[in-house]
Amino acid sequence: MTDPLVFFSPSGKRGRFPEGTSVLEAARRLGVDLDSICGGRGICGRCQVEVGEGSFPKLGIVSAPDHVTDWNAVEARYVSKRGPLDGARRLGCQAKLCADAVIDVPPDSQVHRQVVRKSAAVRDIEIDPIVQLHYVEVREPDMHDPASDFRRLQEALAHQWNVPDVTAPLSILRILQKTLRAGNWSVTVAVRKSREIVAIWPGLREAAHGLAVDIGSTTIAAHLCDLKTGEVVASAGVMNPQIRFGEDVMSRVSYVMMNPGGEAELTSAVRDALRELAASVAKEAGLATADILGMTVVANPIMHHLFLGVDPTELGGAPFALAVDGGLEIPAKEFGLDFAPNAYVYVLPCIAGHVGADTAGVVLSEGPYLKDEVTLLVDVGTNAEIVLGNRNKLLACSSPTGPAFEGGQIASGQRAAPGAIERVRIDRQTLEPRYKVIGSDLWSDEPGFAEATAGTGVTGICGSGIIEVIAEMLLAGLITPDGVVDGAMAARTPRIESDGRTFRYVIREGEPRIAIIQNDVRAVQLAKAALYAGARLLMDRYGVATVDRITLAGAFGSHIDVRHAMILGLVPDCDLDKVGSAGNAAGTGARIALLNAAARREIEEVVRGIEKVETAIEPSFQAHFVGAMAIPHKTDPFPHLEAALGLTFKRGSSEGEAREGRGGRERRRGRLAAE
Amino acid sequence: MTDPLVFFSPSGKRGRFPEGTSVLEAARRLGVDLDSICGGRGICGRCQVEVGEGSFPKLGIVSAPDHVTDWNAVEARYVSKRGPLDGARRLGCQAKLCADAVIDVPPDSQVHRQVVRKSAAVRDIEIDPIVQLHYVEVREPDMHDPASDFRRLQEALAHQWNVPDVTAPLSILRILQKTLRAGNWSVTVAVRKSREIVAIWPGLREAAHGLAVDIGSTTIAAHLCDLKTGEVVASAGVMNPQIRFGEDVMSRVSYVMMNPGGEAELTSAVRDALRELAASVAKEAGLATADILGMTVVANPIMHHLFLGVDPTELGGAPFALAVDGGLEIPAKEFGLDFAPNAYVYVLPCIAGHVGADTAGVVLSEGPYLKDEVTLLVDVGTNAEIVLGNRNKLLACSSPTGPAFEGGQIASGQRAAPGAIERVRIDRQTLEPRYKVIGSDLWSDEPGFAEATAGTGVTGICGSGIIEVIAEMLLAGLITPDGVVDGAMAARTPRIESDGRTFRYVIREGEPRIAIIQNDVRAVQLAKAALYAGARLLMDRYGVATVDRITLAGAFGSHIDVRHAMILGLVPDCDLDKVGSAGNAAGTGARIALLNAAARREIEEVVRGIEKVETAIEPSFQAHFVGAMAIPHKTDPFPHLEAALGLTFKRGSSEGEAREGRGGRERRRGRLAAE
């Protein structure tokens, strides 16, 4: 008689096994992805399967529930403790093959399940964290055998899980004996990289969590993830307390330069904030911080160094040498984090002195290196990090956009916060503006707007509003392609007013009065020209005249309207359907590195292969910058955009302004080059 | 024309190399052991060689000093800075081959030099520490290349030393940038296991030191060693401050059991003492503790656990389960030790719950596993650790000797200290004793003894004195082979006095009066019978009736007279020429592990292979114990000893005493079993 044939769905793997082989054992031998923490003891319930019923002619199998052994005492005990199994499910470790069977492995019984992501442009995340839980039963000590408790635990992991020669730090060795005895010689062990114990609990433990962190100059965001499902179980963000040492990172570097030892204060500030943040998300999820088994971190180069406790002074001036750029694995306790006894922090690699682990996170999240299409990734802040390329090659640079896109150096500018104007439209005929403010969904000309904004007021204009108003002013003819607020338009609308030798456009009367002045337009021109020139420099280097996809990352990238951004000439022309926001892609990168061990080596290799371009010493950057001062551009064509808008841009000369702009840019570079 | 032929002495390696090849390069290619820290830059002077002069017909070489290139500017610079080279020496990195040459590599130019040890029975130590120094010149940072300082350091180590992919902890990354710049891009790096940076200094650094530590129950001893020469540059010992928690280790375990959290106090006490000890030896050697690049530790199981911060409670009762037994590598800072930034502590493996890393140190030092002769190693304290075997097999056990050998439970007993009687001889005719005390070289019957001991007095009798006096009493007929102080001898000497129902022997009148009472003899019989029975048990297990060599380790083993020890029947009969003391062999084992990386794996493997025998549950132990109560033994022959002494021992019955003794042993076992 031949052995029973078993077919696993959805993997499609099949094989014959002797009668009495458990479904779990058959799955393991075939390499079918079927979970188990308890190792087949019927305790964890992770190996649930369904036995198919019916005839499967294509497979040559007739399957039925009684083609595996009947319910046994172990399953009865499981159900009495944990509640009934869904539908006709069985525990794979208990159901043993009697005859041919088709076995379905539901997604929640798979170890390496996929986390499906919203955007179709990016791949799903395969769950395969660097830390795995293993339940083991350890031999009791015996006078005849002097093997230590730790050696017998090692043996149990080797024999029961094929995880040999694990090591343990003092923090684990200290609690080992009590834990083994508390669990009556059954414990669950969290093992990192199949070689080092991270945590140990008495009895069976199924919960495993990790933290993905984005340390931004302004805010620190943390996402607590279930390492089994990939789900974010709690998120929180706090202001980066380093702000008291300087609004932008460069001023924090200045603080360190002026105050020897100041880096220790900055380091303590960010670590303290992170510790509180971790405690807060853990609490929200009903966990203790000691339940956190690992953390991943993205940050810009200066925040990266300050978090590590490395003096960032070298990043404050040429040649902007990083102390360290590779991915780092560091015990969490070195950061004062009271996570699991031997939890580690993984810090993603930095790309260059101006292009940090946050950009590496964006690259990991968006995966341009996996695609044929040439993608332009832009992360906009006071510095713009720009990555261009596809599976053949990736290039990266940073460009000093300055604070205009965050509302800085703009007369009525402010940070994005309730009360800030974030959307603007200007009627092409009446030249009257209407706008929306953060905190309300109403346009300013809709009924109820005043009531809706009574709480916040209308306090200023934030980055996305600035981009829109200037794009709208161009479309309405209120500014020239050279960026001059056109005084002649005062004849058509009282909102154009004289402002000394220049003119301004009044968006809102009242307190505060909100207007766009000539200098605001200049500041935005300088910022957008820097960004555009950086992108064009990379395109030259890559050898393409156009890009296939543009993705804007970061909080700012999420809020700007891509059409207005392109009208302004912030980014090159592209099919508008392929221009989009990736949201907090850096944070997503941290989350991927948390959930998938291989992603760490992957991003390290990708980053090592990225060709870095230093805009400050590239002669052609200057030429690109001059051309990009015009709105949308002095010479570059925008065919996709013009088609979408149904218009043709006028081209003007911007020589004068470009020269002026270059001077301003140089001044800022001195202050901001290292951000 | 053929290339020049070079012959290296003493290695005997030879080869032909193109003219212009440096001697250092030729040595490297041939695998000749020629040192260099600076990598051939003529800075460190480690590669000094002598060029032979004359005809070497057996080698087919005529050699002369001018068969290498003449002195060059680099050598001139070296000599001007560091002084002239010895004799006709040259820097091997600068002298280049012009013609055939015989090159002598003096011992101080070899990396893997041998430390010659005093005893002919043990091998020399090859110097090959786990931490090596490498001088490197690092590329400066460059705007065109974003590689971090650490990556460029990695590259330098890979290219200049063939040490690729080193890692560095935060403590090194934090000081990296300043150190590189302070050294003008030349630094010396201490690398552990060719993969992890331990320390970094600007410029060239040649000094490398490590600490070998023996944490005993009573004293902690530390030896600061030069990792280049193997030399001990400073040593010191302090009392183990844990003594305030209990004189012996078992009472310290009791303290922990009675005082929850008490293990933390004990751990702090030993670590604080060790920190102070390290500072003291470093200071003595003119170094800072930050110059210590690593430490090795031996300790008994309870001290081992307490040093690690592991609660030793499990070692206080059967089955005496160790938390961990393998060799451990742990960052020094986890012990609060302020050594080099990334220095590690290596803790030798434990053999069993009663047989610790100290015994592993003895095994490593004495190397019985390398020999054909069957060696009996005994480390005597309140517990005796016994190891027996040779290259085929090693066995180990511990036996509870109790405190008698340390002067405990002896009426006039005391610890070994100035004023204690350590040697005793009894005249066979007059039955008068003479003795020596610690602190004087004079015998008590020599002129000047009173003056010489006036400072210390004569305060009691220590372990070695107790062994001698009882052996002498047997030889003089003052005690029977059963250990009864013979009252009949009172007729021959007034020094035998009645003491209730038993008798005593007075060694010294005066204050204090020092006598050996019947109970003292019983205590010594119990102790020596335990030790002897343990040794015999191992001999049975091994299948030998005699041993080829006996080595006594530990402070006590260094001070006892082996002949008297054998008369007492402390150890089995053996050729007296092959019975000796190994001094502080445990500490020597720590030193070997410090100086030779391979020794760590070696002792770990050896320890894993040692067969442990638990005396408490071996039925035959009781029979051996009963026989060993007699002095020297009830039945076992001592042919070597009898031949050396020119006498034949009388044999008596010791049944009665053995039963009594067994009871006493059992009582002590309850208290001491886990030491």
Q: pLDDT for A388-405, tens place per residue?
A: 999 999 999 999 888 888
Query: Does the beta carbon of B169 lie under 8 angstroms from any beta carbon of chain A?
Result: yes
User: A278 to each of A209, A281, A332, A336, B674, how far by Cα in Å?
Assistant: 12, 5, 12, 12, 43
Q: Which residues of A touch B350 (CB under 8 A)?
A: 148
According to the model, what pLDDT value does residue A661 have?
39
Q: Are strands B394-399 and B611-612 parallel, antiparallel or unpaired?
A: parallel
Query: Does the beta carbon of B247 lie under 8 angstroms from any beta carbon of chain A?
Result: no
According to DSSP, residue A12 is labeled -
CATH of B221-347, one of 3.40.30.10, 3.30.420.480, 3.40.50.2000, 3.40.50.300: 3.30.420.480
Q: Is the peptide bond before A241 cis (omega within 30 degrees of 0)?
A: no
Decide if A214 contacts A361 (C-beta within 8 A). yes
Q: CA B345 to CA B339: how far, in whole Å?
A: 10
Q: What distance in Å separates residue A487's CA from the closest CA in chain B? A: 45
Query: Does the beta carbon of A120 lie under 8 angstroms from any beta carbon of chain B?
Result: no
**No. of helices (H) and no. of strands (E), chain A:** 18, 30
Decide if A214 contacts A586 (C-beta within 8 A). yes
Which ranges in B344-475 belong to alpha helices (H)?
357-366, 449-452, 463-475
Query: Does the beta carbon of A169 lie under 8 angstroms from any beta carbon of chain B?
Result: yes
pLDDT over threshold 70, residue B670? no
In angstroms, the first-to-last Cα distance of chain B is: 73
B176 closest CB neighbour out of A145, A323, A355:
A323
pLDDT over threshold 90, residue A119? no
- How many C-beta atoms lie closer than 10 Å to residue A11's C-beta? 16
Of B361, B343, B385, nearest to B298 by C-alpha is B361
The mean pLDDT of A428-451, rounded to a whole number, is 95
According to the model, what pLDDT value does residue A652 have?
58
The mean pLDDT of A288-317, rounded to a whole number, is 96
Token pair recorded at residue B290: 């930050």
More confident call, B143 vs B669 = B143
According to the model, what pLDDT value does residue B440 have?
93
pLDDT over threshold 70, residue A291? yes
pLDDT over threshold 50, residue B509? yes
Point out the least confidently predicted range of A588-597, B255-264, B422-431, B515-524: B255-264
Mean pLDDT for all residues in chain B: 92
Of A387, A349, A291, nearest to A593 by C-alpha is A349
pLDDT over threshold 50, residue A666? no
Token pair recorded at residue B145: 């290349």
Percent of chain B's residues with pLDDT above 90: 78
A149 closest CB neighbour out of B168, B173, B322:
B322
Q: CA B144 to CA B147: how far, in whole Å?
A: 9
Q: Which residues of A touch B178 (CB under 8 A)?
A: 311
CB contact under 8 A, B173 and A326: no
Q: Which residues of A touch B179 (CB under 8 A)?
A: none
Compute the residue count for chain A. 675
B143 closest CB neighbour out of A169, A318, A326:
A318
Query: Does the beta carbon of A472 lie under 8 angstroms from any beta carbon of chain B?
Result: no
| pLDDT one-digit tens code per residue, A525-570 | 999 999 999 999 999 999 999 999 999 998 788 888 999 999 999 9
CATH of B5-109, one of 3.10.20.30, 3.30.70.260, 3.40.50.300, 3.40.50.10860: 3.10.20.30
Q: Assign B426 to helix, strand or coil.
A: strand
The mean pLDDT of A229-258, rounded to a whole number, is 89
Nearest CA in chain B to A616: B143
Query: Does the beta carbon of B616 lie under 8 angstroms from any beta carbon of chain A?
Result: yes
Percent of chain A's residues with pLDDT above 90: 78
Q: What distance in Å separates residue B321's CA from the closest CA in chain A? A: 6
pLDDT over threshold 60, residue B659? no
Q: What distance in Å separates residue A176's CA from the closest CA in chain B? A: 7
Give the burial class of B354: count Cβ atoms within 10 A of its Cβ; 0-12 exposed, 13-18 middle, 19 or more buried: buried
User: A660 to each of A369, A499, A518, B254, B578, how far by Cα in Å?
Assistant: 38, 19, 13, 83, 95
Give pTM, 2 decimals.
Answer: 0.87
Classify B173 in phi/psi space as left (phi over 0), alpha (psi -120 to 50) or beta. Answer: alpha
Q: CA A159 to CA A138: how far, in whole Å?
A: 10
User: B104 to each of A164, A531, B619, how far by Cα in Å?
Assistant: 48, 66, 62
Q: What distance in Å separates residue B206's CA from the closest CA in chain A? A: 25
According to the model, what pLDDT value does residue A450 have?
93
Q: Assign B382 to helix, strand or coil.
A: coil
Q: CA A517 to CA A478: how far, in whole Å?
A: 12
Q: CA A312 to CA A321: how far, in whole Å?
A: 9
H or E element at residue A174: helix A170-182
Q: Which CATH fold topology does A209-347 show?
A: Nucleotidyltransferase; domain 5 (3.30.420)
Which residues have a Cβ under 8 Å from the Cβ of B483 and sit 6 or more positions away? B521, B522, B525, B629, B630, B631, B654, B657
Q: What distance in Å separates residue A149's CA from the closest CA in chain B? A: 5
Work out the angle at residue A480's Cα, subtended by the Cα atoms of residues A476 and A486, and round it to the nearest 5 degrees. Answer: 80
Q: Which residues 135-164 of B are in CB contact (within 8 Å) with A?
A: 141-151
Give the burial class of A193: count Cβ atoms within 10 A of its Cβ; 0-12 exposed, 13-18 middle, 19 or more buried: middle
Point out the least confidently predicted range of A433-447, B49-63, B659-673: B659-673
Mean pLDDT for all residues in chain A: 92
Q: Which among B196, B324, B329, B608 is the top mutation candidate for probing chain A, defined by the most A β-carbons within 10 Å of its own β-carbon?
A: B324
Strands (DSSP E) found in A439-527: 460-461, 496-499, 502-508, 514-517
Q: Is the peptide bond before B632 cis (omega within 30 degrees of 0)?
A: yes
More confident call, A593 vs B242 = A593
- What crossing angle do the helices spanning B597-609 and B585-595 adopt, rounded to 10°? 130
Query: Does the beta carbon of B168 lie under 8 angstroms from any beta carbon of chain A?
Result: yes
Q: Which amino acid is at B324?
A: V
CB contact under 8 A, A324 and B149: yes
Q: What distance in Å separates residue B468's CA from the closest CA in chain A? A: 36
Q: CA A81 to CA B314: how far, in whole Å?
A: 33
Q: CA B287 to CA B226: how far, in whole Å?
A: 11
Query: Does the beta carbon of B385 lie under 8 angstroms from any beta carbon of chain A?
Result: no
| pLDDT one-digit tens code per residue, B418-441 | 999 999 999 999 999 999 999 999
| pLDDT one-digit tens code per residue, B188-211 | 999 999 999 999 999 999 999 999
Q: What distance in Å separates residue B621's CA from the closest CA in chain A? A: 15
Q: What are phi and psi of A197, to 5 degrees?
A: -80, 130
Give the burial class of B243: count Cβ atoms within 10 A of its Cβ; 0-12 exposed, 13-18 middle, 19 or more buried: middle
User: A177 to each of B305, B323, B356, how far by Cα in Å?
Assistant: 12, 6, 18
Question: Sign of dihedral through CA atoms A267, A273, A279, A282?
Answer: negative
Decide if B300 contacts B356 (C-beta within 8 A). yes
pLDDT over threshold 60, residue A672? no
Please indicate whether the domains covering B130-202 and B221-347 agree at the CATH topology level: no
Position A118 confidence tier, pLDDT thresholds 50, 70, 90:
low
| pLDDT one-digit tens code per residue, A468-500 | 999 999 999 999 999 999 999 999 999 999 999
CB contact under 8 A, A326 and B617: no
Token pair recorded at residue B635: 């039945």
Decide if A471 contacts A568 (C-beta within 8 A). yes
Q: Hey, where are the domains in chain B?
A: 5-109, 130-202, 221-347, 361-402+524-672, 404-522
Nearest CA in chain B to A305: B174
| pLDDT one-digit tens code per residue, B102-118 | 999 998 898 877 776 76
Q: Which CATH fold topology does A130-202 show?
A: Ubiquitin-like (UB roll) (3.10.20)
Sequential DSSP letters for A619-636 = HHHHHHHHHHTSSS-SS-
Distance, C-alpha B598 to centroid of its chain: 16
CB contact under 8 A, A319 and B150: no
Token pair recorded at residue B339: 């050594």
According to the model, what pLDDT value does residue A98 have?
94
The mean pLDDT of A1-24, rounded to a whole number, is 93
Q: What distance in Å separates residue B90's CA from the closest CA in chain A? A: 39
CB contact under 8 A, A173 and B148: no
Query: Does the beta carbon of B182 lie under 8 angstroms from any beta carbon of chain A?
Result: no
Q: Are strands A209-215 and A219-226 parallel, antiparallel or unpaired?
A: antiparallel
pLDDT over threshold 50, residue A668? no
According to the model, what pLDDT value does residue B118 have?
67
pLDDT over threshold 50, residue A674? no
Strands (DSSP E) found in A407-527: 420-426, 433-437, 460-461, 496-499, 502-508, 514-517
H or E element at residue A55: strand A54-56
Q: Which amino acid is at B601?
A: R
Query: Does the beta carbon of B322 lie under 8 angstroms from any beta carbon of chain A?
Result: yes
According to the model, what pLDDT value does residue B663 have?
40
CB contact under 8 A, B319 and A143: yes
Q: CA B135 to CA B131: how far, in whole Å?
A: 13
Decide if B6 contacts B24 (C-beta within 8 A). no
Position B394 confidence tier, pLDDT thresholds 50, 70, 90:
very high
